[in-house]
Chains A and B, each alone.
Chain A
């Protein structure tokens, strides 16, 4: 059970992180911070 919860937690975190990154990516572009070169 613990293993299942840990696995679900990692998936939930990966999903949350991806959504955070979508907002952070927009902020970086709009603020003109370099994300390339």
Chain B
């Protein structure tokens, strides 16, 4: 009977049946745990694009403390971050660098487009040097409107991102 079991096809079938059961049993709690870990430690890259960086700085301050959500502006390299907050206008000189930074980040990575200039070009849409919105070069997860958005709006944007992450499945 053991010879029967160790027959390749049977073995494969058995392994697949066991993994099926495992996935069904553990997928939800494991996925929940992994997502829980990701949500509460979103580390943004230290890339300030334009003027909205002032409100991002104020959001990291003691009054609108985003550190309680796990968002610490990691001072290290961007290889350990998983969030880019595109703060404000992206112009033609900054765009290739933004794309390079996005490419260098490891998966999973999320993007928040903060401010009207990052969403559609905002006030500067007719300038000669400004991209009309950043979603032409990197995929955006959450759009946070405002010019500049108040820190509370930015926090609401991160909570929306957290809910989006909660709903996503782990591969």
Q: Decide if A and B are genuine partners.
A: no
**Residues in chain A within 8 A of chain B (CB atoms):** none
Using CB atoms and an 8 Å cutoff, list the residues of chain B in contact with chain A.
none
